[in-house]
Copies of this chain bind each other. A is one copy, B any other.
Amino acid sequence: MNTRETLSPWQLAERAHAMNPSAIREILKVTERPGILNFAGGLPSPETFPVEAMHAACAAVLGEDLNVARASLQYASSEGLPELRQWVAAQMAKQGAHISPDQVLITTGSQQGLDLIAKVLLDKGSRMLVESPTYLGALQAFTPMQPSIESVESDFGGVSAPALRKALEKGERPRFIYLLPNFQNPTGRTMDEARRNDVIAVCREFGLPIVEDNPYGELWFESQPPAPLLARWPEGVLYLGSFSKILAPGLRLGYVIAPPELYPKLLQAKQAADLHTPGFNQRVVAEVIKDGFLDRHVPTIRDRYHQQRDAMLAALQRELGDTGAEWTRPVGGMFIWVRLPEGLIAKDLLPAAVDAGMAFVPGAPFYAENADPRTLRLSFVTSTPEQIDRGMAALAKVVRGAGR
């Protein structure tokens, strides 16, 4: 009875059926009740944003030289601002990774780097590997290209080298493994020197490329993390970095460092994706950082997050120490990962936790497969030590109540 005109004319691509609303975003809606002590978010603390420096930089870019102002508002190169590309190369050199500025592609947040990598490296059905658990935003970037995503067994030190070897001994060679070695989102865990070497050795032996994501690496508390994987295997690692956690995420400024053979394809994908990352933002950030501003600013973020982590570890020990719950002890970053006592399911506990006045994120959505339903993620960076104390007490009440 329908004529063609009354039917929808739109037909979705097959990959669109693989896209789903973020489970986390749906969960976060539950936590947005006013007055809730919120440990569920993944946001950096807005108190760390250098508002005055940004204000001064905008004034310098727009208010001094009309040619500079106009250039910052015009179309720009897809590769990114030379000053930023040089800065990235200099920063990496300090960490033992010697790359050329020509290998740096400025992206619209490092999330865009993940999207470009997926486009350039993943076919439908391509095998690829991730840690267990892994960053949810990466799964969302990879999924639309319809790869077959496989989890490699991981422990509190990151991905397991023997498990990785086992995965590589059978089946086709994966396109890459996605790793987040420093203060991982969601677990807070870090790969130590020995683990990095073991994993790199297996990857080199089997010719398995690595996508190394490092948004949190600068947020260390007592000592710098070991050298990046990129420094250990320059031709086999694609590296992602970001200004979101050391300046501000609302600028959407990140970067990819690519081996020379991959760079042109990523650049072409970048051109097609958004022509270039906003030149105005690049120019303003170059102005902010040009005189070593980050050398003074980042330590203040480290100090703040360090105190907050200490408060949360102490509160967890005090409140949950005798419940059988376990948690990570991150040496940097923003997150602690908790595993509830046997028999409890984090997702089922969330409504009671919200009623008790606190919110966390259940861990299950962070697993590509074989989710552990007892896990949950806590962010310690947007709450005061006092709020952390109250929040962990509320969590403990719920855990004890559920355990009875």
The interface bits of chain A over 67-95 (1 if a CB of B lies within 8 angstroms of the residue's CB, else 0) are: 00111111110000000000000000000
Among B70, B248, B273, the residue within 8 A (CB) of A51 is B70
In the assembled complex, the CB of A327 is this many whole angstroms from the nearest CB of chain B, namely 25
Return chain B residues, CB-CB under 8 Å to A108.
108, 252, 274, 278
Interface stretch, picked from A96-104, A188-196, A256-264, A289-297, is A256-264
A144/B272 in contact, CB under 8 A: yes
Among B25, B126, B279, B281, the residue within 8 A (CB) of A280 is B281
Complex Cα distance A249/B15, Å? Answer: 30
Return chain B residues, CB-CB under 8 Å to A259.
10
Complex Cα distance A5/B13, Å? Answer: 38
The interface bits of chain A over 18-30 (1 if a CB of B lies within 8 angstroms of the residue's CB, else 0) are: 0111100100000
B51/A58 in contact, CB under 8 A: no
Is A370 part of the contact surface with B, judged by Cβ < 8 Å? no
Complex Cα distance A251/B122, Å? Answer: 30
- Count class of interface residues, chain A: 35 or more
* Copies assembled: 2
Is A241 part of the contact surface with B, judged by Cβ < 8 Å? no
Is A143 part of the contact surface with B, judged by Cβ < 8 Å? yes
Given contacts A5-B207, A252-B277, contact A46 B19 (CB under 8 A): no
B272/A141 in contact, CB under 8 A: yes
B265/A73 in contact, CB under 8 A: no
Is A323 part of the contact surface with B, judged by Cβ < 8 Å? no
Complex Cα distance A316/B69, Å? Answer: 33
Given contacts A13-B126, A49-B74, A73-B46, contact A19 B273 (CB under 8 A): no
Given contacts A5-B205, A46-B74, A121-B10, contact A272 B19 (CB under 8 A): yes
Return chain B residues, CB-CB under 8 Å to A250.
72-76, 278-280
B59/A73 in contact, CB under 8 A: no
Given contacts A252-B277, A265-B19, A278-B252, contact A121 B209 (CB under 8 A): no
Closest to A5 in B: B204
B75/A14 in contact, CB under 8 A: no
Complex Cα distance A44/B70, Å? Answer: 11
A140/B207 in contact, CB under 8 A: no
Return chain B residues, CB-CB under 8 Å to A143.
272
Which residues of chain A in 193-238 are interfacial with respect to chain B, using CB atoms and an 8 Å cutoff? 203-209, 235-236
Is A167 part of the contact surface with B, judged by Cβ < 8 Å? no
Among B58, B264, B272, B276, the residue within 8 A (CB) of A115 is B272
B274/A7 in contact, CB under 8 A: no
Closest 5 CB pairs of A and B: A73-B248, A58-B58, A46-B70, A250-B279, A55-B62
